[in-house]
Structure 1
C-alpha cells in the first residue's frame, strides 16, 4: 500500500514547481483527494478481500449463505434499544433486543457502498483543480519562463522580464475571464466541501452533521451511563432476518446476530473526515471572503503586492499599482509567487517603465491630435 501511495497516487498529487493557486486550494485536490483515495483502497481491501461480516450460524442454514444474504440485503437494529441497559436484565448489546410487531427498525445498507462513495468524493475534490488547470492553460508557466531560478545572468533576466512586462502592459484589462475563472473554482471548492458534508449526512442516515460533536460530548460523559454515538451510525452488532422453507414446506423465520467488523474501520474514517471537512469548510469560507475583499478593496491589493515585493522600491510598486485592476493584479501576484524575489523586482521595474513609456506615448498622441485640431 505504501508503494501505491508513493507511486501512481503520489504522481497524481505531486507538488508542482509552478504555483497557480494557494495552499488552501491545494488542500482540496492534493491532501483531501489523497486521503479519500487511500480510505477507499483501505475499505476495499478489508471489504472484498477480508471478512467484513460474520453471522451466528444456524444448523439448518449454511454459514456462507446466511452471511452473504445479510450482507446483500442489509442488517438492522432497534433504535429504542439504545436507551436500555446492557446486561442480564436489559439487552445483550446496544441497539439489539427482541423485536415486537410495530417497533421501528433502522436498516444499514451503506457499508456496501462506502469504498465507491469515498472514491467518487475524491474525484469531486479534484474536479475544481482540473477545471482551473484546464482554463489556466499554463499561462503563468509561460510568463515565468525560468525566472524562478536564482542563478541567472542579469542581462538575460532583464530581457525576459521586459518581455513579460510588455505582455502585461499590452493586455491590461484582458484578464478578467482568467481571474474570475479562478474565483469560480475557489468558490466551487467551498460549495463542494459543504455539499460533501450534506451528502455524507444523507448517505449515513442523517446522522453525520452532528457526528463529531456527539463523539466529543460522549467522551466527556460518565462511562457507566454514556451511549457511544459511533455505535448508532456504525454498529458493530446488528440483526438479520432470514426466511426459508422448513421440512414441512412452511416458511420459517430465523433471526441472526451479525458482527460488522467493517464498521470498526468506517467509524474511524468518518470521524476523521468530519473534523477534516469542517476545518476545510471554515478555511475555504474565509478564503472566499478574502477573495471578495481583494476584488472590492484596491488598498488591500496594494498591501498584498507590496508584501510580496519587499525588496522592491516603494515608488515602483505604487506606480505599477496605479495601473492594475483586480484581474491584472491577480496575474502579477501569481507571478510574484513563482519568480525569484530578485527577478520579480526587476520585472516590476520593467513594468513600471513600460507603463511610463505607454503613458508618455498616449500623452504625446493626444497633444498631436490637439495641435492638428487647432490647425
Structure 2
C-alpha cells in the first residue's frame, strides 16, 4: 500500500495544471497520457498485490495451504498456454513445442510505469533545457497570470517589465552565443530558418518531435516487452467486434486459461511432477487496457503530428507576420505607415525572431490573445521609440513617472527639470 500511495502522489502532481509553457497537444502526452497510464498501473497493482490475480486447480491430494503455495508458485513462475481446441499432451508440457509462455503479466504495471516515464521525458527535457536557452517562459507567463488583469495600470506595468526582461534576455543570449560560438546552438537556430530562427524555437520543435517519436515508439516498446504483436492488436480487436465475436479469437495474446508445471521434491530421487490448470482474471483487465491504449496511441500520434503541422504554419513567414500585424492593428487601431512598415520587417526578423514570436504565441495560448496583443504593442512602441535619458523640466519634485513615460520620452519633457530617469 505504501508503494501505491507514492504512485498516487507522483501522478497527482503530474495532473496539476501548473505548466504554462506548452499547448494542448503537448498536454495530451505529458499530462493526460501519464495520468491514464498511472491509473492503469495503480488498478493492476491493486489487483496483483491486494486481490487474487491467479486461481489454480491444485492436485486432488493437496490441502488448503498447498493451494496457496500452488497459486503463488504459478504466479511468480512462467505459465504457458496452448490452443483451446488442442489436447493437452506431454508434447506441450515442460516448455514443449506448440505452447506459448506468458511471463509478462506480472510485469505489466512496471511496463505501464516505464511507458509513463518515457511519455513524460520530453516535458522534463523541455523544463531542464528549454527554460535555460534564452529566458524562462513559464516564469514570465506565471507573472502575467497572477497579475490583476482588471487593473489597467497594474497590467500595463507588468507587461512593461516583461518587455524589458525580454530585451535584456535577448541581448544576453546573442552576446553569449557570439562569445561561446556554440556550434550546436548555431546549427539548431539555422535549422529553424522557416520559423525565424532562434535556439528556443529549435528546442521547442525538437521537443515536439520527441513527443511524436514517443507516441509511435510506444507501439514497439509494448510489442517488445509483451511479445504479442501489438502493432496489429487494435485491428484484431476491431475485427472481433465487427464480427460479433470475442475480442480476440486467439487467446495466445492475453490467455485467460493457462497451465503451470511444477515439481514436488522429496528426499532422494522421489520427485513428483504436476501439470495444473489456472485462470488469469487479471488478463481480462490487461486485454481491455491495452486495447484502449492502442487506440489512444493512434489518437495521440495523429494529434501530436497535427500539432507540429499547426506550429509549422504558425511560425512560417506568412504566419509570423499575419499574427503580429493582426494584433498590432487591433492595439494601434490604425494601419502601419510606410515608415513603420520598414521598421516592422526589422522588428519581426531581428528584434523578435522566432523566439520572440514563440514567446508571444505561448502567452496567447496560456493566458489570452488580448494580453499577448497588449504586450506586443508595448514591445513595438519600445522598438520604434527607444527609451533614452528623460529630462523632466519642472520644479515639481512630486511628479510620478508612469509607464507612459517609459514609452514616450517627451510626455513629461516639459514638466520637470530636476529629475533625470535612465531607462
Q: TM-score, normalised by structure 2?
A: 0.70
Partners of 2:240 and 2:249 within 8 A in 1: yes
Deviations 1:180-237 (A, max 9, x none): 22222221111122222211011121421111110100112254xx782473311110
1:330, distance to aligned residue in structure 2 (A): 0.8
2:252 aligned counterpart, secondary structure: helix
1:284 to 290, 304, 327: 304
1:35 aligned counterpart, secondary structure: helix
Query: 2:188 maps to which residue?
Result: none
1:112 to 103, 106, 111: 106
Within a 5 Å distance, the mapping from 1:1-375 to structure 2 comes to 9-16=11-18, 19-61=20-62, 62-78=66-82, 81=83, 84=85, 97-100=88-91, 103-135=97-129, 136=131, 139-144=136-141, 146-148=143-145, 149=147, 151-169=149-167, 171=170, 174=174, 176-221=198-243, 223=245, 228-229=248-249, 231-245=251-265, 249-294=269-314, 297-305=316-324, 311-312=330-331, 313=333, 315=335, 319=344, 320-321=347-348, 323=350, 324-357=352-385
Deviations 1:66-102 (A, max 9, x none): 2222112211112xx25x4xxxxxx5xxxx7435366
Partners of 1:165 and 1:347 within 8 A in 2: yes
1:210 aligned counterpart, secondary structure: helix
When structure 1 is superposed on structure 2, of 3-12 and 42-51 the one drifting more is 3-12
When structure 1 is superposed on structure 2, of 325-334 and 164-173 the one drifting more is 164-173
Task: Return closer, same or farther for 1:314/1:164 CA change in 2, 3 Å cut-off.
Answer: farther
1:232 aligned counterpart, secondary structure: coil
1:8, distance to aligned residue in structure 2 (A): 5.9
Distance 1:308 1:6 in 2: 43
Task: Return closer, same or farther for 1:195/1:308 CA change in 2, 3 Å cut-off.
Answer: farther
Query: 2:402 maps to which residue?
Result: none
1:31, distance to aligned residue in structure 2 (A): 0.9
Partners of 2:78 and 2:101 within 8 A in 1: yes
Gaps of 5+ in 2: 175-196, 389-423
Task: Return closer, same or farther for 1:7/1:116 CA change in 2, 3 Å cut-off.
Answer: closer
1:354, distance to aligned residue in structure 2 (A): 2.1
How many residue pairs match? The answer is 343
Distance 2:267 2:301 in 1: 59
2:230 aligned counterpart, secondary structure: coil
CA RMSD of aligned residues (A): 3.5
1:7, distance to aligned residue in structure 2 (A): 6.5
1:233 aligned counterpart, secondary structure: coil
2:251 aligned counterpart, secondary structure: helix
Partners of 2:20 and 2:141 within 8 A in 1: no
Distance 2:328 2:305 in 1: 27
2:22 aligned counterpart, secondary structure: coil
1:253 aligned counterpart, secondary structure: strand
Partners of 1:244 and 1:253 within 8 A in 2: yes
Partners of 1:238 and 1:260 within 8 A in 2: yes
Task: Return closer, same or farther for 1:35/1:314 CA change in 2, 3 Å cut-off.
Answer: farther
Gaps of 5+ in 1: 85-90, 361-375
Q: TM-score, normalised by structure 1?
A: 0.78
